Every structure is written in structure tokens, then in C-alpha cells.
Amino acid sequence: MPPRLNESTEPTPLMASPLSTKSANRIILLGASNLTLSLRLVTHLMQQRFSGPSEILAAVGHGRAYGSANQVLLRGLPGINASGLWPQLNSAEVHPTYALLTDIGNDILYESAPEQILRQVEWCVEQLQKQSAQIIVTNLPMASIEDLSERRYTFYRNIFYPFCRLSRSETVSRVRVVYQGLIDMASRRNFTLYEQEPVWFGPDGIHVHYWKRRAFYRDVLKQFAVPGSNNKSASGESRKESGLTWQRRPEFAYKTLLGRKIHCQQPSGWLADGSSVFKY
């Protein structure tokens, strides 16, 4: 039976998993297009390190921002900070928790001030640290963005952020502030900050090249320490990926479609190994 979609503004109760497997850990994934396109891949690579099944809480989506609501074509989503992930995280059973925060920067093209963006990211980090989570944050791909010509910048800005009118120089200036702010925050908050090299990215400077996604995320996720295993994969590179196929693809807990509010019970997705997916 598929998860029930509810067009009212009232949230529906959480949906029990059809599988009785107990979660070994909790995976928190926050990001936009890059993470959306690689959601199952990232889950697979994380479970190679930590084993599974897992309880997966993901606030993702094309064009997603941490503080700004966004609209892509006909679909609207709240900012990550305003999503239902946080109440669920605070009410959930305690598990070893591993969090990846990535795709930071969409708020810049939605014309949010750098200081506001940094406050929003730090709020997420604070909530995750209350859960004793291991946290990796990917810094903005500074070198790739600086390398964009005026023509390429304008072309991709008009495609991905059609309402943005920030010039290239103003965008790069704001990116630099957020970039340095994350370095300072990592030192103050004691989380792992991953520097993204230009080699990973396609011509737009912000999306990971399709053929490099597996290598990229493997490089990012090896920054996680694996308790009691000398930082080696808990289940090894030989772990079968068949258990990480979708048994049911997740649906957003809340979105708008043509202005209509749509709710979906969570968890709404499951992987074949029994992992449950809450998508916000």
C-alpha cells in the first residue's frame, strides 16, 4: 500500500515500515540538487562505512536552500530549517547519528545575506550536535565558482535562478564571505569541513560531474570516523548494493504543487535492506 498523500494542511500520522528490521544507525542528509541526484548512492556509501539498515532523514530537493523557500517548476518546498525533519529528529529514538550537510549556497542566488546563511547553517549544526551526531559539511566550491566567466555565470544563473539579478562580482563576493564563514564555524563548532576541488565539477561550477559522483562522495564520506574499526568500512567494500535498491521511493512530507499543499505520511520510502526513509 503506497503512502497516503493528503491535500489538506493537516499533517498525517507517521507510517510504520512494512519491514520489522531494527535500524542500526541514523543518517541525516541535507542538500539540494547534487544530493537529490545521488541520494541512494550516498546512502549506499554511508552504509558501507557504518552498516545498516538505517533510519534516513533527508531534507533534499532541486534548488533547495537552508533558509529560503524555493519553487522549481510547479513544485514548492520550504527551507531546510523550516522542514519537518527537525521535530522528527528530536522525537526519534536515540541512534548513532551521521550527518552530511552539502549544497550550501543556493540561498546566495535567492539573494539572502551571507550572515543570514551562516546563521541558518549553524542552527542546523547546533541541532545535530544535540544528537551527538558526527557531522561533515562541504564548503562552497570556491575555486570552481571563481573560475566561471561572466558569460557562463549569466547563462547558468538564468537557467537555475531565473529571478536572481545578482551580478557575477556580487555573487562571488558573497560566496567568499560564506566560504570563509564556514571555515571559522568549523573551527568554533568542531565539525569536519570538506573542501571541494574543481576537478569534481561540471561546466556550471556547482554540480558534480555525473561520472565522478561515486568517487566524489566516497572521498567526502571517508572523512567520517568509524567507531572501533580503524576508520575502515564496518561492512567492507564488498557489501552488496542489492539491499540498497528502492523497495518504495520516498515522497516529500510536505510540498506545494500549483499552490496546493500536499502532505505525505513518513516514513514514505524503504530500501530493500529494511532502511526507512523520511523525506522532508
Pick out the chain residues at pLDDT < 70: 1-21, 228-243
- The model's pLDDT over 240-273, given as tens digits with 9 standing for 90+, comes to 555 578 899 999 999 999 889 999 999 999 998 8
pLDDT confidence of residue 259: 86
Distance CA 191, CA 224 (A): 10
CATH number of domain containing 217 = 3.40.50.1110
* Contact of 53 with 21, CB cutoff 8 Å: yes
pLDDT confidence of residue 246: 86
Distance CA 103, CA 31 (A): 5
pLDDT confidence of residue 245: 84
pLDDT confidence of residue 18: 54
* Cell, residue 251: 515522497
What's the structural domain count of the chain?
A: 1
Distance CA 72, CA 23 (A): 33
Range of the domain at 211: 5-279
Distance CA 244, CA 80 (A): 25
pLDDT confidence of residue 242: 57
